[in-house]
Amino acid sequence: MEEAKINVLTAEIVKNEQITKDTWQMTLDPGFDFDVTNISPGQFVCLQPLASDSVMARPFSVSMISTFNCTFDILYRTVGKNTLQMRQLVKGQSIKFWGPLGNSEIIDPSPYEEVWLIGGGIGIAPLLFFEKVITEYQDHRARVFYGGKDINEMMNLDLITPEPVEIATEDGTLGFKGFITDLFSERIIMRLGKILVITCGPSPMMKKVAEICEQNNVDCYVILEKIMACGICVCLGCSIKTTQGMKRICHDGPIFNAKEVIWNELG
């Protein structure tokens, strides 16, 4: 079995700002030894506060890079021990990290007219980086859909991406009223040309996006998540059964062709 070597690095916190009730944006400067241009959209890093007494670092998708400042960003929701510690960190402090981890560059947008990025909740994080690469570096067209429960949960993406974003909230307090998958299924029938869909968010949402894509004969990739102990192919804790056999999300993923995913095996 091919195992990634772990190279624990330290990054300086450039920014750690609250952007919604429970979401923070952290900008990290990994120093000269680390080239942020080696990070591809969909990849993640494992982070661990220096003062953490937890044995496990935690995985977070890279949500943006700055080639100018040589920094990378993550967006994180505070849900437990590590993320609560992370939100206490201030500019100038350091954090342990390793990565980038996960598969990369398996998605070629060139055969498609547009790439549609469908994010639910914090699942929007890796899609913002995809959008930047697709539009700026690959000179391709991208369209972003972002859904959540209500206005309080939604990030102001105008501050993060200059591109227009189509928004849905379940209670209608922002944008379209309903699930983001309802908005997506309305839009997909009006598509012009061949599109590619990439989605990240809660499993039921991604499953629905994958079903809509299949019904409309549209290619779809999903970015999967599972609780990870090592992030480097050692513990097998992130193994899932796919139509192509057993796969590890930390190594073979987190990006998978939706056709490979057996949704009721994800747990």
Binding site for ligand FAD (CB under 6 A): 44, 58-61, 74-77, 79-83, 122, 125, 225-228, 254
Structure-block tokens of residue 160? 């993060």
Residue 141 CA to residue 188 CA, distance in Å, equals: 15
Considering only the stretches 61-69, 161-169, 185-193, 233-241, report the one whose residues sit in contact with ligand FES under the rule CB under 6 A. Answer: 233-241
Question: Which of residues 234 and 266 has its CB atom nearest to ligand FES in the complex?
Answer: 234
Question: Which of residues 188 and 230 has its CB atom nearest to ligand FAD in the complex?
Answer: 230
Residue 230 CA to residue 223 CA, distance in Å, equals: 18
248 is an interface residue for ligand FES by CB under 6 A:
yes
Residue 134 CA to residue 132 CA, distance in Å, equals: 6
Q: In what side-by-side order are the strands of the sheet with 195-200?
A: 176-177, 165-169, 141-148, 114-120, 195-200, 219-223, 255-257
Per partner kind, with CB cut-offs from 5 to 8 A, the member of ligand FAD, ligand FES, none near residue 235 is: ligand FES
Residue 205 to residues 24, 30, 189, Cα–Cα distance (Å): 23, 34, 18
238 is an interface residue for ligand FES by CB under 6 A:
yes
123 is an interface residue for ligand FES by CB under 6 A:
no
233 is an interface residue for ligand FES by CB under 6 A:
yes
**Under rule CB under 6 A, how many of the chain's residues touch ligand FES?**
12
Residue nearest ligand FAD by beta-carbon distance: 80
266 is an interface residue for ligand FES by CB under 6 A:
no
Using CB under 6 A, which of 6, 9, 13, 234 touches ligand FES? 234
Residue 243 CA to residue 261 CA, distance in Å, equals: 7
Helix (H) or strand (E) holding 148: strand 141-148
Helix (H) or strand (E) holding 209: helix 203-215
State whether residue 244 is helix, strand or coil: coil
Q: Minimum distance from CB of 238 to ligand FES (Å)?
A: 3
Q: Minimum distance from CB of 246 to ligand FAD (Å)?
A: 17
235 is an interface residue for ligand FES by CB under 6 A:
yes
Per partner kind, with CB cut-offs from 5 to 8 A, the member of ligand FAD, ligand FES, none near residue 65 is: none
Tokens 């342990």, residue? 96
Rg (CA), the chain: 18
237 is an interface residue for ligand FES by CB under 6 A:
yes
Residue 239 CA to residue 32 CA, distance in Å, equals: 34
Question: Which of residues 188 and 249 has its CB atom nearest to ligand FAD in the complex?
Answer: 249
Question: Which of residues 122 and 212 has its CB atom nearest to ligand FAD in the complex?
Answer: 122
